[in-house]
Amino acid sequence: MGQAMLPIPDPDCPSHRWQAGPASPEGVPLYRLRRGASPLLVSMPHVGIVVPPWLATRLTPAALPLADTDWHLPRLYDFLGALDATVLVATHSRFVIDLNRPPDGANLYPGQDTTGLVPVDTFRREPAYRDGDAPDVAQIERRRESYWRPYHAALAAEIERLHAAHGGVALWEAHSIASELPRFFHGRLTDLNFGTGRGAACAPGYSAAILAPVQAQSDYSWVLNGRFTGGYITRHYGRPGDNVHAIQLEMSQIVYMDETAPFGLRADRSAKLRPVLEACVRAARDWVVATGHHRRG
């Protein structure tokens, strides 16, 4: 596998142009950015499917299908242009580096199994690297500097820009994962898994506003701070005292796509899910608009 296609921009908002981030060492943009004018910022760090040639030859057949990708989120969230959101979309596979892990590789869930800053196995515990090809400490450091830091520099800059303009930021971390992964949880995962760092990444009113639409429906199961309480981005950038409020949504992929290769988007399932998803994201934006205006006033 070489350099795969990049995420597709939102076709419904031609006035919102995507910008390419700085180039990776192999010459591929590290991310795509679309700047919006509202205080809503959506980060998609695990949707990338670019595998550089230098890495592709080292990965095992179990890793190369990229099953652990957060598939199709740019298309599922195709309403973001209408919300005038800023959207930051990673381009490279999490096998290059995991953008939602701390730079030191610390386990975000002490006592529980998880993959690292540079994953060496898949979510199903299959080796990701051929014998003798796993990255050493020096290579992990190079990847951190070349791939991890530029994404986080862009994320921090957009938070600062939006905060200066609005007095607050609604940071939404968009994720998805296979519905059944015994390595991480028993049985089938809850459909919609919201995480706020156990309340540390946002104000209670922010999460309450976001949860109101899911509380009003019965099609999808949901939980707040269950198995997934938010990754590094949610925990690190959420600063409710500064009116920067972060929440992560880890969706069970079965609610919108086929979970076996080629991992196709299901039009029927995504059409059913999208109104609920949009209502939650809109609530995040509107809550910060109201509190930002209040604080600035």
Please report the domains of the chain, with CATH numbers, ordered by start residue: 19-296 (3.40.630.40)
Using one digit for the tens of pLDDT, what is the confidence trace for 182-239?
999 999 999 999 999 999 999 999 999 999 999 999 999 999 999 999 999 999 999 9
Provide the pLDDT for residue 296: 52
Per the prediction, the chain carries an average pLDDT of 93
At residue 53, what are phi and psi to the nearest 5 degrees? Answer: -55, -35
State what percent of residues in the chain have pLDDT above 70. 93
Identify the pLDDT of residue 238: 98
In this predicted structure, the answer to whether residue 15 has a pLDDT above a threshold of 60 is no
Q: Per the confidence metrics, is the pTM higher than 0.85?
A: yes
Give the pLDDT score at 71. Answer: 98
Burial class of residue 65 (count of CB atoms within 10 Å of its CB; 0-12, 13-18, 19+): middle
Residue 102: Cβ within 10 Å count: 16
